[in-house]
Chains A and B, each alone.
Chain A
């Protein structure tokens, strides 16, 4: 029987920045989408496109860290897997959302707005888990 570690394992500064940084980027895209839906001012849609692109870069590299963490974790089930899969879901849906936002003018709506909301939520959840603890069975 192995003894469970009783310390918290949290991401390093780079990992944490990439992970947490994707949240305001995805959230910014969501807010821009809402503004576009309300005003039809195209610049909001342009903002959303770039914010999503930035979020994909940040969360993409964070996803690599999450994968390495998953591979290195002794107990993969639980937090390491949940963290990785949530972030993967956020990234894949975020990519779909980037394509959705590439459509011209109002063709991106309303799907783009819905996707932005879902992706923002997924990124928040992944970040919450990731920043809390990267290991399963550790102290809460």
Chain B
């Protein structure tokens, strides 16, 4: 019968289209990544690694380095900041209020939640102190609470800046303080409607006068409509004194972490790129943020590669799109970046550390580690090196997911782990 034959063909097509999420085991990194053809599978691959506790295990670090959990039982630690006196601040929370618009959103959110912590959003900043310098952070206290999904942290000239999901706020800070002296002062409101990508990353210029806030897009690829993308997918430059803002660079889909390059004062970011174009598209990237530049989202990626899903298209914007500096690989979900210092050891002296939260829509999971991208003459040079691994074990289980990475001037790397609700500290063995 004709109908049955059509059906057999259909089910075959259905099965075929379900494959194709495999992807390369090793992805192209660097300034000129291989960009395969766009794929559109009927069933997007979703692979959530089963979360388990670390137990007596720890992330693996290079020989000559040690890693310790300096704080546990936090409430979703994301980004950290080392204060002038060596105290560490940890921003804890989870934001977003994106409505579920399609049946898909309902199903996908249930699946994604499997790979995340079940802990409630902390909405606070915790302070960790190691008074005697023995590497044990004996003091763990709440520095400020009742914040709204705080994420980006920055310090300059006696002022502590916190990027909540809806506003940039400021605390006065005196050396040695363990608790904020009062409620924060608002510097400026930040775009907060929907907050599909809610994290507001933050960096402060070396002179303390300009603040930079990374604002993620309100969708994967405009599926919530173009109207909700006003003031999204960009980095704002904010005057610290007046709170006045202007777009500094645009077309950055989700700039999840910002940092200033020591010496040059250049702003750098890691950006999470779009999904559902295949396992090896689109590469997440590390890039200097060029003032006034347009980085493509939503119309194109990696320069002029047009994304037909963003309609109506905008050829003029595509023509103006610039290429980012360095591919980190697709779907790694880079959420942290910081420049290294010579105290981190010869091999890791010049470059950036990048925290990769790990993929959720790739059959061959990638990320789930902290990498080091070596620099030379102020630019990325060479292949990335693994710095902390084992967050996703060989047994296929996930013990942790790295978020923010911060270089401690004492020569240590602080890693926030929002699955294990732990802050790790990697040090050189003496």
Binding site for B on A (CB under 8 A): 40-43, 45-46, 49-50, 53, 81, 85-86, 88-89, 92-93, 96, 98-107
- 4 new A-B contacts at CB < 8 Å, known A85-B4, A104-B309, A107-B309: A89-B6, A89-B7, A102-B44, A104-B219
| B245 located at the interface, meaning its Cβ lies under 8 Å from any Cβ of chain A in the complex | no
In whole angstroms, what is the CA distance A92 to B42 when docked? 14
B14 / chain A contacts, CB cutoff of 8 Å: 96
A46, A96, A106 interface centre (most CB from chain B within 10 Å): A106
Top 4 A-B pairs, shortest CB-CB distance: A102-B104, A104-B223, A42-B225, A106-B311
Chain B residues closer than 8 Å to A92, beta-carbon distance: 7, 10-11
Q: Once the chains bind, are A49 and B310 in contact (CB under 8 Å)?
A: no
Q: Which residues of A contact B224 (CB under 8 A)?
A: 42
10 sample A-B contacts, Cβ–Cβ < 8 Å, listed by A number: A42-B225, A43-B225, A49-B103, A49-B104, A89-B6, A103-B40, A104-B222, A105-B221, A106-B311, A107-B309
B276 within 8 A of A: yes
A7-B4 Cα distance, complex, nearest whole Å: 29
From B3, B11, B104, B311, give the contact of A105 (CB < 8 A).
B311
User: Cα distance A41–B223 when bound, in Å?
Assistant: 10
Residues A101 and B102 in contact, CB atoms below 8 Å apart: yes
Interface membership of chain B positions 201-243, coded 1 if the CB is closer than 8 angstroms to chain A and 0 otherwise: 0000000000000000001111111100000000000000000
Q: In the bound complex, how far is the Cα of B221 from the Cα of A66, in angstroms?
A: 41
Q: Contacting B222 at CB < 8 Å: which of A42, A89, A100?
A: A42
Interface flag for B312 (CB, 8 Å): yes
In the complex, what distance in Å separates the CA atom of A96 from the CA atom of B7?
Answer: 11
Select B103's contact among A41, A98, A107, beta carbons within 8 Å.
A98
Residues of chain B lying within 8 A (CB to CB) of residue A42: 222-225
* B-chain residues with CB within 8 Å of residue A103 when the two chains form the complex: 40, 276, 309
Q: How far is the CA of A50 from the CA of B42 in the complex (A)?
A: 17
Closest chain A residue to B224, Cβ basis: A42
**A53: chain B residues within 8 A (beta carbon):** 103
Asked if B37 CB lies within 8 Å of chain A CBs, one says no
How far in angstroms is the closest Cβ of chain B from A89? 6
Whether B316 is near chain A, meaning CB under 8 Å from some CB there, is: no
Q: How far is the CA of A111 from the CA of B321 in the complex (A)?
A: 29
B270-312 CB contact bits vs A (8 Å, 1 = yes)? 0000011000000000000000000000000000000011111
In this complex, what residue of A is CB-closest to B312?
Answer: A40
A46 x B42 contact (CB < 8 A): no
Q: Give the total of B residues in contact with A, Cβ under 8 Å.
A: 32
Q: Which of B10, B219, B276 contacts A93 (CB 8 A)?
A: B10
The minimal Cβ–Cβ distance linking A11 to chain B, given in whole angstroms, is 20
B276 and A85 within 8 A (CB) = no
CA gap between A93 and B104 in the complex, in Å: 17
Q: Tell me if A89 and B3 are in contact (CB < 8 A).
A: yes
Min C-beta distance of A80 to chain B, whole Å = 13
Residues of B with C-beta under 8 A to A106: 308-311
A46 to B219, CA, bound (A): 14
Smallest CB separation, A16 vs chain B (Å): 22
A93 to B222, CA, bound (A): 26
Q: Which residues of A are found within 8 Å of B13, using beta-carbon distances?
A: 96
- Interchain nearest-CB distance for A136 vs B (Å): 15
What's the nearest-Cβ distance from chain A to residue B9, in Å? 11
Contact between B40 and A46 (Cβ–Cβ < 8 Å)?
A: no
Segment 1-35 of B: residues with Cβ below 8 Å from A: 1, 3-4, 6-7, 10-11, 13-14
Contact flag A41-B6 (CB < 8 Å), given A102-B102, A106-B310: no
The answer to whether A99 and B4 touch across the interface, beta carbons within 8 angstroms, is: no
Q: Which residues on the A side are within 8 Å of B275 (C-beta)?
A: 104
- Least distance between A5 CB and chain B CB atoms (Å): 25
Cβ of B103: which chain A residues have Cβ within 8 Å of it?
A: 49-50, 53, 98, 102
- Indicate if B110 sits at the interface (CB-CB under 8 A): no
Check A105 against B42 for contact (C-beta < 8 Å): no
A85 x B1 contact (CB < 8 A): yes
Complex-state Cα separation, A86 to B7, whole angstroms: 10
Residues of A within 8 A of B10 (CB): 92-93, 96
Which A residues lie within 8 Å of B309 (CB)?
Answer: 103-107
- In the assembled complex, the Cα of A89 lies from the Cα of B221 at a distance in Å of 32
Report yes or no: B101 in contact with A105, Cβ–Cβ below 8 A.
no
Name the B residues within 8 Å of A43 (CB-CB). 225
Q: Are A88 and B7 in contact (CB under 8 A)?
A: yes
Report A50 CB to chain B, min CB distance, Å. 7
Q: Give Cα A113 to B138, complex, Å.
A: 62
Q: How distant is the Cα of A121 from the Cα of B28 in the complex, in angstroms? A: 46
Residue of B nearest to A42 (CB): B225
Which A residues touch B310, using CB under 8 A? 105-106
The answer to whether A49 touches B223 (Cβ under 8 A) is no
B102 and A40 contacting across the interface, CB-CB below 8 Å:
no
- Identify A104's interface contact among B4, B6, B11, B220, CB under 8 A: B220
* Chain B residues, Cβ within 8 Å of A41: 225
